[in-house]
Structure 1
């Protein structure tokens, strides 16, 4: 069975967010500055922007009701715990989820101010029982150019795009293949990992630091 989903980004939960970001930077990735989400969310992130998708390193900065699920996942070890699927029409994604019988929350609109401008996006969170152990959502970006900025895509190590995502059990995600959306990326079974197009392997020390601090393996391809 081959499963490919329209990937927007993966989320890696990190107990020490700055250290996880530094590990990626030491491995030759260009990382975004640490940014805080809303006070209600109580989270912050550092992103590794790649062609068409990205890795979001997320940390908890304050305990809030909104991040209870993330906190539980972090307490269980963190690492690769979130998967965002790309949508170019969030209403169509909602309709597809409903038609497939996949439980989900209503569409919510969010925004976040950055030095480059206001990031705007709409999301649909899937019901927890739809993807056990993994928080999944559909995401439509309304300001992609502000997020995928050229300076964030110029990785010293030559990183290009996410070529595949590896999860311990991708079987519960099979119904999501019916969702519309571009940028389909293969999902396969295995230890949590992302396969990234790289011209050469990462230094062993850098790869080990990413695994230890972000809970995922980077596989060059």
Structure 2
């Protein structure tokens, strides 16, 4: 079973508004990063996987795979311990990976400027039409997982279920099994399979999409009070320990739950 590294929300050129909204919801955002490939980001860290807002600057170098991707929930990123080994593993599984790509972004920690460095391995977009799917090797994890970025006023602490819709989910099950290194189980009208960090539900739908992501919190009280006081979001309580949060400006559906 592979390990979840992070989930990506694409803001396109709207990073300023998206960052302000997530801060208003009580997430702690890392300082804005500027990737060498031509993208910008903020992270919302946990000790395990993290949530990423990614976008492109309004002018200058703009990362094509971000600019050409839909707004909203658009990235499933699994963790690689060694990008070259990941490439070989994915090739054996028949997923036709691209050669590893290296990139970086400046990070200032304790007043000192450093470079956070990464290597990624991607699979062809046509194999996973719901969104961008790739593996990420962190060469400098100490510049990403830092204690000062993991304390969220709303209690954010991880992920639940990523729901993936497809007109023909049966045709995609084997690809997701190859991606995640596990076996899917029938679940309702679809299939469920796991990563270390979140589960994936592959279900029938009108189009290929990452439809929603489960996000977990120590409790929902802090998030609820912030969401109800904030313009631009729609909050609906479903049970005492579960709620739906819709962000129209990002076409983003979060299923919010209390960590058991």
TM class by shorter-chain length?
0.7 to 0.9
Per the normalisation by structure 1, the TM-score is: 0.83
Instruction: Calculate the TM-score normalised by the size of structure 2.
Output: 0.72
- Contact (CA 8 Å) 2:104, 2:116: kept in 1 or not? yes
Which stretches in structure 2 are left out of the alignment for 5+ residues?
Answer: 183-194, 204-209, 235-244
Residue ranges of structure 1 left out of the alignment (5+ in a row):
none
Q: What SS does the aligned partner of 1:84 have?
A: strand
CA deviations over 1:126-150 (Å, ceiling 9, x no partner): 1111211411111111211211111
Q: Count residues with an aligned counterpart.
A: 210
| 65, 71, 88: which one aligns with 2:67 | 71
Q: Considering only aligned residues, what root-mean-square deviation do their CA atoms show, in Å?
A: 2.5
1:48 alignment partner in structure 2: 44
User: Which residue is 2:187 aligned to?
Assistant: none
SS at match of 2:29: coil
Q: Is the 8 A contact 2:87 2:98 kept in 1?
A: no
Q: CA deviation at 1:69?
A: 3.3
CA contact under 8 A between 1:23 and 1:213: conserved in structure 2? Answer: no
The residue matched to 1:155 in structure 2 has which SS?
coil
**Structure with the greater relative contact order (CA < 8 A, sep ≥ 6): 1 or 2?**
1
Counterpart position of 1:158: 155
Match of 1:178 in 2: 181
Match of 2:247, SS state, is helix
Checking the alignment, whether the CA contact within 8 Å between 1:73 and 1:133 is kept in structure 2 is no
- Aligned match of 1:17: 15
Contact 1:19–1:213 (Cα < 8 Å) also in 2:
no
Secondary structure of 2:28's counterpart equals coil
Query: Which whole-Å CA distance do the structure 1 matches of 2:33 and 2:155 have between them?
Result: 24
Higher helix content, 1 or 2: 1
When Rg is computed on C-alpha atoms for both structures, the one with the higher figure is 2
